[in-house]
Amino acid sequence: MTNGVFEAGERVITKDGEGVVNKNQEKKQDQIEVKLNTGEIKTYAPTEVSDDSDAG
């Protein structure tokens, strides 16, 4: 994460589980599109997503 902006391919944790930031992310500033490990793609507010570094 750079300055609060998540980059495509970055591993993140959401309330629905772990995933990676989707490649279309750069176009959206107020929403983060995440491809979950289940294969589902969901959109979250920035406050609903945390980067992997502060987990465990």
According to the model, what pLDDT value does residue 13 have? 95
8 Å CB contact between 54 and 45: no
The 10s digit of each residue's pLDDT in 1-45 is: 555 678 889 999 999 999 999 987 666 678 899 999 999 999 999
DSSP at 24: G
Q: Could you tell me the two tokens for 46?
A: 């920035």
Spatial separation of the C-alpha atoms in residues 54 and 45, rounded to whole Å: 18
Q: How far is CA 19 from CA 42, 55, in A?
A: 10, 13
According to the model, what pLDDT value does residue 56 have? 46
The 10s digit of each residue's pLDDT in 35-50 is: 999 999 999 998 999 9
8 Å CB contact between 8 and 16: no
49 against 54, higher pLDDT: 49
